[in-house]
Chains A and B, each alone.
Chain A
Amino acid sequence: MDTVVVTETAGQMWTIVVVGIGTVFLCLFALVVMVSVFKAIFVREPKAAPKAEAPAAPAATAPAAARGLDGAVVAAIVAAVSAASGVPAASLRIASIERSGFNTPAWGHIDRA
């Protein structure tokens, strides 16, 4: 690695600067978009479907509306994965998970009496 020092050029340095600043803005702008989609999904009334940024979202939010908040979590995750990966949401549909009626506590809840 140390031999790199000899051949380091300003070009390499400027590449890092350009890619670096570019990537920081790209990543954080991606998050701006993502969080804006959040607002669309979670905060407005469910009748207003989210916008084009997350092509999978409409498909996913429909059952979400029926199942309430928890369903919305699944929907959002699917939407996020889909939007991030560019794979159509259809390939990602999650088999419905029934509400269990029981919630299991963790082992940490062993009776300490």
Chain B
Amino acid sequence: MNNLILKVCTKVLFTPIILFGLYVQFHGDFGPGGGFQAGVIVAAAFILYAMVFGVDKCKIIMPTKLNFFLLVLGAFLYGFVGIVGLILGEPYLSYDLLGSTKQSGQHIGILLVEFGVGLTVCNVMICLFYSFANFKFGSNKND
């Protein structure tokens, strides 16, 4: 959409949206946020950018490979935090030993896990957008 207003305003909105996403990400345990929503918000910024400036330009900021790597990294982080507990002699997904106290351990654990989730969700969304962006609804009969 070659629209001046849209382009200029997207430029303005891009950065605050990402920041807001990160804000939601790291304030997850205080409000109704968390990695899931944060990921969606950050991804929304990228998707908006891609819609207005084109997928190719978006791929300069978020290359496909990096996107996939981050997607996997997020999931890996999620799993790995659990494994840390396992290696420290606790069952899987117990974060108690991550911090100095049980409370802080849980907190750090949840923060890390949420970050993994956010990373994954964000990149999944972007990945999905990349793959569907060029899907052209042709003159298909739809029923």
Tell me, yes or no, whether A binds B. no
